[in-house]
Amino acid sequence: MAQGYTRGQVYVDTMNDSKVLELSVDVVDQLAALADSVRLAIVQQLATYGTQCVCDLNTHAQVSPTKLSYHLKILKDAGLIRGTRRGRWIDYALVPGAFDEMAGILHQLGRATEKAALS
């Protein structure tokens, strides 16, 4: 990261436009949470199949129950998923709207990249 920029900033530079995108700490934490193949696979599974119990997530993730619990906690702490207790089970689902700000930032970065490629 460029000197003088904080953890919540991204510098976008194109030939015609230079600006700093302010990222909320939430988005930075969300991107960090998704920067793991197991956690990304969990999010993809929840996006594809909807609410899943731990037993369903475990068959797809193919990690130990302890590691799965660790990854679920990171995703929950980042505000990407939520758990709802159902008897002895916990059902996990994506938090509605949790990806909206992140999607907007990634869209802006994509537009800046396209703009730079055309220049």
Q: What is the pLDDT of residue 33?
A: 95
How many domains in the chain? 1
* 32 is a domain residue: yes
The pair of structure tokens assigned to 55 is 């037993």
* 73 is a domain residue: yes
* 100 is a domain residue: yes
Count of alpha carbons within 13 angstroms of residue 71, beta-carbon side: 22
The whole-angstrom separation of Cα 54 and Cα 11 is 39
The whole-angstrom separation of Cα 83 and Cα 106 is 27
CATH assignment at residue 93: 1.10.10.10
* 107 is a domain residue: yes
| pTM (two decimals) | 0.74
Helix-, strand-, coil-residue percentages of the chain, each rounded to 5: 55, 20, 25
* 30 is a domain residue: yes
Which stretches of the chain score pLDDT less than 50?
1-5, 11-12, 14-16, 18
The residue segments making up the domain with residue 105 are: 25-117
